[in-house]
Every structure is written in structure tokens, then in C-alpha cells.
Amino acid sequence: MTTSRTRFLLAATIVALIVLAATAGVRSQTPRPMGIVDLLNVPRVADPELSPDGREVVYTRAESDWKSGKRILHIWRARIDGGQPVQLTSGAEGEAEPRWSPDGKTIAFAARRGDNELAQIYLLPDDGGEARPLTTHATAVSDIAWTPDG
């Protein structure tokens, strides 16, 4: 065998070994069936509410919180014409039932915050800022709805 041919075979062997080593990780990551933990880790999107002008939607997105052993819902907003969704709330206990005011300037939602053991209604300005409590009812509130005149 000539030296040039030996060099060629050696180079080809080295290249083949490099390619095999580089793809070994890919082959070891064979597809597997989705398990219950995988399913629980998939975020759940629900309760969409279209803004009065039809340009945006608010909705809840629930993610698994493995430390507390439950799903935590937060309120998100997205433009109908695309763009990145924006998380509007981040309370430790989560928030639910986002509802636009008739004029589209405020979003009402139910949440347990602070020392309150029961869900109350909070109002969040559409342009951002901190939500302020609207109710201090003796029982939990649910099924939030605005009157037509706000």
C-alpha cells in the first residue's frame, strides 16, 4: 500500500469515527411515548376573552407547580394579529376568570391574594400597573361579569 493511500484510508476512518461520535447522542435520544409527567407539564390555555375592540385576547395559562402539587393559573394577553403573549399576573395562588370592561380599559379577574383565604375581584388597568382589589366579600366570588355600562 502506498503512503498516500494509507493516509487517505486513515483520514477517512477518522472522519467516519468523528461522524459516528457526533451522531451517537442523537441516536441514544430515541423517541419515547409521552408519560403522565410529560402530560402534566404541558401548559393549559383556557378561558379566552376577546377585547371589546377585537384586537386582543386575555386568557388563563395554567402550569404545573410541582412544589405545591397543583396547577397555578396566571392571566396572559395576546394581540390577535400576532406577536409575543404577555403575562399580566404572577400571584402565588394564581388568578382566574379574566374579563374585559366594556370600554376595554380594565381587566377584572378573581384571585386569592394576601391574607384573604377566599377569591375576590381585582381590577387591572389595561396599560399595566398593579391590580387593585374591588371586593371584600364574605364568601368567594366567581362567574365575574361586567354590566353593559361598566
Residue 19 backbone phi and psi in degrees, to 5:
-65, -45
> Taking the model in full, what pTM does it have?
0.74
> For residues 2 and 23, which has the higher predicted lDDT (pLDDT)?
2
Q: What angle do CA 42, 46, 49 make, to 5 degrees?
A: 145
| Long-range contact set of residues 57-65: C-beta below 8 Å, sequence gap at least 24 | 58/88, 58/98, 58/100, 58/107, 59/98, 60/95, 60/96, 60/97, 60/98, 61/87, 62/94, 64/40
Q: What is the pLDDT of residue 98?
A: 97
pLDDT confidence tier of residue 1, bands split at 50, 70 and 90: low
Q: Mean pLDDT throughout 93-110?
A: 96
| Average pLDDT in the chain | 84
Q: Residue 34 has what pLDDT?
A: 87
Task: Using alpha carbons, select from 123, 85, 120, 131 the residue that is nearest to residue 101.
Answer: 123
pLDDT at 19 over 60: no
Whole-number pLDDT of residue 55: 95
Burial class (CB in 10 A: 0-12, 13-18, 19+), 10: exposed
